[in-house]
Amino acid sequence: MNETPSRAREYFDRFTAENAADVLQTLVASEPKTYEDEQLDFKHGNPKDEHIDLIWSKALGAFANSHGGVIVWGIKADRDNERKLDFAHSLAVVPDIYVLKERLTQKYRFLTDPPLASVEVVPIPLKDGANAGFVVCYVPEGNHKAYQSMKAKYPYYFRIGSDAVEISNAWLRQLFYPQTHHKLSLHIGALKTIPRIMRVEGEEMGFGDSDRCISVGIKNDGDYSLYEVLLVVKRGRNLLINWQWERFKRGFGRGHFEDGGIRLASPLHPTLRSLVNLLAIGNDKETKWSVRVCAKDLKPFDLDIEHSDLPVETGEPLVIPISV
């Protein structure tokens, strides 16, 4: 299959650019934390020699069976127990990036069945002339699923959240017989109560009750996971703030300006819902919201709706079924 733009490729391009060493070092103890996800994995840079093939084989199979991903050797991950995700905790650099790069490059074709092609391995020195640093690997989504990890504890893995998990028989059936039918619903409702004070990209902004705020998102009502779910929301020429309440400061919130599409949880597994709060600010008096829903293997769905037609903080949003 032809490779399509993905978050994995975005990660790889960013982590192998000219200033890659600086970028990778800033991931450690960043604020907010840099979490692993379905397409990003951090590995200690100096594992025991006998463990390298096991780690590499498991990661290759998990990403190939999912939607591809990037592995960064040289960063130690730790668990955020509250979010149940791993994050970049500290530097654990590779002592000799060129030795590790050579081993990973020579071995990857023999660590999955069927063999995986087009894996990219790039050494990133901490500074010019250094042997220590990072090794960044790009693993594409496989064309011939399911891929068996030949040196790992279990034969088949899939990437969920920040973990590579063993694939059950049900997952294997899905991989061999890809889904062709999705069932989902758009959930949208008006929000009247918003934070009195909101920190937006470093600046504090004051607000009162608003008739320009919505909660909008997607629920997966089908039997198969949705990938690369994207919302494109507009209200005339107004700017949009994607915001959430501050957990420990009553009446306060934080947010950022949205420009383009809003990525929702990916994958969005069956029965799960992913929502965002959006506030329109500006001088445009437009009262109608335009919403477009996009996802992998999904024809875009468009909705135009007046703000006055939305339920207001009733606890039950307007639910619009989408079947494909």
Domains of the chain from N-terminus onward: 7-176 (3.30.950), 185-323 (2.60.40.10)
What number is the average pLDDT over the span 216-236? 90
Cβ-based burial of 283 (10 A; exposed 0-12, middle 13-18, buried ≥19): exposed
pLDDT digits (tens, 9 = 90+) for 71-91: 999 999 999 999 899 999 999
Q: How confident is the model at residue 175 (pLDDT cuts 50, 70, 90)?
A: low
The answer on pLDDT for 178 being more than 60 is no
Q: How far is CA 166 from CA 65, 170, 312, in A?
A: 11, 11, 43
Q: Quick one: average pLDDT of 123-148?
A: 94
Amino acid residing at 146: A
The CA-based dihedral angle spanning residues 162, 153, 227, 179, taken in that order and rounded to the nearest 10 degrees: -160
Q: Are strands 148-149 and 203-206 parallel, antiparallel or unpaired?
A: unpaired
pLDDT for the residue 129: 94
